[in-house]
Structure 1
Amino acid sequence: MSAATAVVQDFMRAFREQDRGAAERLMADDFDFTSPQDDHLDRDAWLRICFPTAGHFDAPATTLQLIEVDGLVLHRYEYVVDGTRYRNVEALEVRDGAVHTVEVYFGGAVDRGA
């Protein structure tokens, strides 16, 4: 595991466990978060808007792949909300032991509990 992928694992753990201090230590001062619902949130906005949402999920997300490619860590994961499984991918830029950018790409439902 590379140092950058370890930082991402630690960042995801801080989110899952709602350890704000750990999350803050792993975030760069110029942190920038973008998703289909959030347009370039800075560090303070992400901590206020996104960080508290870990309880929205039925259970913690499961990492499917975590790889470093061309300076980005790609994190593909699966999660469940209201009994339905979904998958997302995040591209995270990690430099000097801190997360600088996060780009989230939403996937659709994997199954609908047929």
Structure 2
Amino acid sequence: MAKSPTDVVQAAFRCYRSQDREAALALYAEDFSFTSPQDDHLDKEAFFERCFPTADRFVEQRMLHVVPADEELVLVHYEYELTTGDRYRNVEAITVRDGLVREVQVFFGGKVGARG
């Protein structure tokens, strides 16, 4: 039975946190694209070289919402704590087609608990 886009996204996050690169590679399409405020349309190779190995910065990552927006798009809202003790929240818009992650767009949130 095929996995839902939400299942694929949750599996990708688990692979990232556990740093299971081999299992993660199988979840991403060859034409994958990653964009964030710090990265502009990285391809699969650049993403796995530059972004994937960064899980050790996190003490904790909690999924707050994992919501299908349509049949391909999943919105993920999560909170994480860095090894510095700072906490943040981000949102990711993740496109999954044919059981593979095709695109990730990350939108950085502010520090949790920060006063403006």
CA distance in 2, matches of 1:23, 1:17: 10
Q: How many residues align?
A: 110
Q: Which residue of 1 aligns with 2:8?
A: 7
Unaligned runs of 5+ in 1: none
Match in the other structure for 2:90: 88
Give the corresponding residue for 1:50: 51
| Superposed displacement of residue 86, structure 1 | 0.5
| Residues in 1 aligned to 2:55 and 2:112: alpha-carbon distance in whole angstroms | 20
CA distance in 1, matches of 2:13, 2:37: 19
The answer for the alignment partner of 2:111 in structure 1 is 109
- Cα deviation 1:46-103 (Å, max 9, x = unaligned): 00000100001122x1000001012310000000121121000000000111000000
State the one-letter code of the partner of 2:113.
D
CA contact (8 A) 1:84 1:111 kept: no
Partner secondary structure for residue 42 of structure 2 = strand
| Runs of at least 4 residues off by over 3 Å | none
C-alpha root-mean-square deviation of aligned residues, in Å?
A: 1.0
TM-score, length of structure 2 as denominator length: 0.91
Sequence identity percentage: 54
Q: Distance in 1 between matches of 2:7 and 2:105?
A: 18
**TM-score of the superposition, structure 1-length normalised?**
0.93
Tell me which moved more, 86-95 or 62-71.
Answer: 62-71
SS at match of 2:113: coil
Measure the CA separation in 2 of the matches of 1:55 and 1:111: 22
1:67: which partner in 2? 67
